[in-house]
Amino acid sequence: MPISETRTRWAEEQVELLLSIPFISEFVFRSPQNLEGPRNSQREVADLLIDHMGNGLLVSQKAQEDLESRDERRNEFWVLKNANSAVAQAQRSLA
């Protein structure tokens, strides 16, 4: 993995490639965005959007940059915090 590329971005690209096999790459979108607010600013709604037969599936994934930086307990807190963040992101996309 190149130094300029983050582990998170690398993970998203790998999942995008994997999902494009069964769903065909033209129906898998990384970092879909919508327009929000009075200034119509772009905001990411999920990490991936899969369009399948007219239905959309939003995927939010989180990756730690440094796997060794947390013990098991701190890792659990990291997972819970980021799961809440992912749910909030999905809720904003539905509003």
Range of the domain at 11: 7-94
Residue 18 is assigned to a structural domain of this protein? yes
80: left (phi over 0), alpha (psi -120 to 50) or beta: alpha
- Answering whether pTM is above 0.85, one says no
Residue 72 is assigned to a structural domain of this protein? yes
> What does the angle CA 51 – CA 54 – CA 57 come to, to the nearest 5 degrees?
40
Tens of each residue's pLDDT in the chain, 95 residues: 454 468 888 888 888 888 888 878 788 888 777 777 677 777 777 788 888 888 888 887 777 777 777 888 888 888 888 888 778 877 776 66
Residue 16 is assigned to a structural domain of this protein? yes
Q: H or E stretch including 52?
A: strand 48-52
Residue 2 is assigned to a structural domain of this protein? no
